[in-house]
């Protein structure tokens, strides 16, 4: 009888150990799958929040060595400097009374997002600014580095880095006085993340300058059909109309992300003279200036410029009143 009871006890102990081991195994597996799921979800989540659209960036790969060919595919960006550089310079000069003759932007830290070959970084550096140019495409950065090395003064003032805006935002907060993103937002993957990263890396009351194409029928006809397909001013396929944005929509996005939009100016490219001019209409190309607002100002609307400001600042005199 006793040996029977001992056997029954041993069997039940074995069963209990087996059940415990199976339960442990089950929990172990569940935990493994849970961790694997979490890391995959995290990867997917961060990938969906990158601002870099690889398909868009690839468009610039083949021409990465042609940035400084003034007669080549980037000719319109070279001539855009004639109006965008004074726009940035004069707006910044109007915001501060303290500037050095000959080096008016000295002491100002500028982040040039999507700098390409450095066509805008260089003139801003020549005006005395300390410029960080970033671009996701390494070949663009190589071209930009090589070109700035021809001018020893620029070498000190400009640094280039191949990375995304969100990588800069991960490592720095409230670092730059100014951000320029010229002809870039129409190529990014997630514009809201792009703008919130700009907000993060800008110092309080810092300035953001954007130039881009509006989303209208006219911009489709002139910016894509005429410029790309008929006249070949820029390579076919450079632009995707779906990614264009109207100034009104961009203003809304900026203002809901803590910016105050100060100016929106229409721009027009004349393909025959190869030059740009300011125009009233913002239905094709436009340049926008916004400032990072103090927290309590976030939802207020754009301030109309004073008469004195308009006199001092010819670009702002063209400010559209479309909103
Ligand atoms: C039309 S080019 C403008 C280059 C330069 N800003 C200029 O005006 O001379 C657009 C540039 O944006 C870069 N780009 C594309 N997507 C980007 C992104 N998500 N973030 C930063 N730059 C990007 C491209 O690699 C390319 O160099």
Question: How does pLDDT run across 252-311, given as a tens digit for each residue?
Answer: 999 999 999 999 999 999 999 999 999 999 999 999 999 999 764 444 444 444 444 444
pLDDT (average), residues 93-108: 88
Around Cβ 100, how many Cβ atoms within 10 Å?
10
Residue, of 237 and 168, whose pLDDT is higher = 168
Q: In sequence order, what are the beta bridge partners of 265?
A: 287
39 plus 143 within the same structural domain: no
The finding on whether 187 has its CB within 6 A of some atom of ligand 1 is: yes
The alpha carbons of the chain give a radius of gyration, in whole angstroms, of 27
**Which residues does residue 290 pair with via DSSP β-bridges, in sequence order?**
208, 261
Q: Which residue has better confidence, 207 or 18?
A: 207
| Mean pLDDT, residues 68-79 | 96
Sign of CA dihedral 113, 119, 123, 126: positive
Residue 45 in this model has a pLDDT that exceeds 50:
no
Q: Are 285 and 268 in contact (CB under 8 A)?
A: yes
210 and 305 assigned to the same domain = yes
209 C-alpha vs ligand 1 centroid, how far in Å?
A: 14
Is 131 touching ligand 1 by the criterion CB < 6 Å? no
Last residue of a domain, one of 15, 31, 48: 48
Per-residue confidence at 123, pLDDT binned at 50, 70, 90? Answer: very high
Smallest Cα–Cα separation from 198: which of 112, 87, 125, 129? 112
Q: Are residues 44 and 185 in the same domain?
A: no
Distance (Å) from CA 115 to ligand 1 centroid: 6
In a domain, 44, yes or no: yes
For the chain, percent of residues with pLDDT exceeding 70: 76
Mean pLDDT, range 191-200, rounded to an integer:
97
- Do 189 and 252 share a domain, yes or no? yes
- Answer yes or no: is 186 within a domain: yes
Residue 158 sits in a domain whose CATH number is 3.40.50.150
- 99 and 16 within one domain: no
What pLDDT score was predicted for residue 44? 37
Q: Is residue 46's pLDDT more than 60?
A: no
pLDDT at residue 49, as a whole number? 74
Nearest atom of ligand 1 to the alpha carbon of 211? 8
* CA-nearest residue, atom 26 of ligand 1: 116
Q: Is the CB of 57 under 6 A from ligand 1?
A: yes
| Domain contains 323 | no
> Is 183 one of the annotated binding-site residues?
yes
**Closest residue by CA, ligand 1 atom 13:** 114
Give the separation between CA 59 and CA 56, rounded to whole angstroms.
5
Q: Integer distance in angstroms from the first to the last C-alpha of the chain?
A: 96
Q: Which of 59, 67, 114, 198 to mutate to test the pocket of ligand 1 (most atoms within 8 A of CB)?
A: 114
CB 294 within 8 A of CB 204: yes
Q: How many domains does the chain have?
A: 2
Structural contact between residues 112 and 124, judged by C-beta atoms closer than 8 angstroms? yes
Evaluate whether residue 272 is within a structural domain: yes
In angstroms, what is the span from residue 183 Cα to ligand 1's centroid? 7
Burial zone of 59 (CB within 10 Å; 0-12 exposed, 13-18 middle, 19+ buried): middle
For ligand 1, whether the C-beta of 51 sits within 6 Å is yes
Q: Which residues of 198-226 are buried (b: 16+ CB within 10 A; e: fewer)?
A: bbbbbeeebbbbbbbbbbbeebbebbbee
Q: Which of 57, 123, 227 to mutate to test the pocket of ligand 1 (most atoms within 8 A of CB)?
A: 57
122 assigned to some structural domain: yes
- Assess whether 151 and 273 both reside in one domain: yes
Structural domain range at position 24? 1-48
Q: Is residue 220 part of a domain?
A: yes
- Same domain for 250 and 104: yes
Say yes or no: 18 and 128 in one domain. no
pLDDT of residue 315: 39
CA dist., res. 320 & res. 214, Å (int): 13
Tell me the average pLDDT of the chain: 84
User: Quick one: residue 281, left, alpha or beta (phi over 0 = left, psi -120 to 50 = alpha)?
Assistant: beta
| Residues 182 and 213 both lie in one domain | yes
207 among the known binding-site residues? no
Question: Could you tell me if 32 and 57 lie in one domain?
Answer: no
Same domain, 137 and 212: yes
Atom 11, ligand 1: which residue's CA is nearest?
114
Q: Is the Cβ atom of 188 under 6 angstroms away from ligand 1?
A: yes
* CA-to-CA separations, 316 to 2, 158, 214, in angstroms, rounded: 102, 28, 18
Residue 115, ligand 1, Cβ within 6 A: yes
What is the biggest distance separating any 2 CA atoms in the chain, rounded to whole angstroms? 111
Question: 297 lies in a domain?
Answer: yes
What integer is the mean pLDDT of 209-216? 97
Do 23 and 64 lie in a common domain? no
The pLDDT value given to residue 97: 78
| 322 within a domain of the structure (yes/no) | no
Distance CA(174)–CA(185), nearest Å, equals 21
Higher pLDDT, 237 or 121: 121
State pLDDT tens for residues 134-153.
999 999 999 999 999 999 99
CB of 211 sitting under 6 A from ligand 1: no
Let me know: does 134 contact 161? Beta carbons within 8 Å.
yes
- C-alpha 264 – ligand 1 centre gap (Å): 21
183 lines ligand 1 (CB under 6 A): yes
- Cα of 124 from ligand 1 centre, angstroms: 17
- Whether 114 has a binding-site annotation, put simply, is yes
């Amino acid at each position: 009888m006793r040996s029977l009871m001992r056997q029954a006890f041993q069997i039940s102990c074995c069963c209990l150990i087996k059940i415990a081991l199976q339960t442990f195994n089950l929990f172990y597996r569940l935990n493994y799958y849970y961790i694997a799921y979490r890391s995959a979800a995290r990867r997917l989540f961060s990938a969906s929040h990158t601002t870099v659209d690889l398909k868009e960036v690839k468009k610039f790969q083949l021409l990465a060595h042609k940035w400084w060919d003034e007669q080549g595919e980037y000719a319109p960006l070279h001539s855009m400097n004639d109006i965008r550089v004074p726009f940035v310079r004069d707006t910044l000069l109007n915001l501060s009374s303290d500037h050095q003759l000959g080096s008016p932007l000295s002491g100002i830290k500028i982040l040039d997002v999507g700098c390409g070959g450095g066509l805008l970084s260089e003139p801003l550096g020549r005006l005395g600014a300390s410029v960080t140019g970033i671009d996701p495409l390494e070949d663009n950065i190589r071209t930009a580095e090589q070109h700035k090395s021809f001018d020893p003064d620029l070498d000190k003032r400009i640094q280039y880095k191949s990375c995304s805006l969100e990588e800069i935002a991960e490592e720095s907060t409230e670092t730059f006085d100014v951000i320029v993103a010229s002809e870039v937002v129409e190529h990014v993957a997630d514009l809201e993340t792009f703008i919130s990263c700009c907000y993060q890396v800008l110092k309080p009351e810092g300035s953001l300058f954007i130039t881009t194409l509006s989303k209208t029928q006219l911009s489709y006809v002139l910016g894509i059909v005429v410029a790309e397909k008929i006249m070949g001013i820029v390579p076919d396929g450079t632009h995707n109309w779906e990614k264009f944005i109207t100034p009104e929509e961009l203003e809304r996005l900026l203002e809901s992300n803590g910016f105050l939009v100060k100016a929106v100016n229409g721009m027009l490219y004349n393909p025959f003279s190869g030059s740009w001019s300011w125009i009233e209409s913002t239905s094709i190309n436009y340049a926008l200036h916004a400032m990072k607002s103090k927290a309590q100002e976030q939802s207020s609307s754009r301030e109309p410029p004073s008469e004195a400001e308009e006199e001092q600042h010819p670009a702002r005199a063209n400010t559209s009143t479309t909103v």
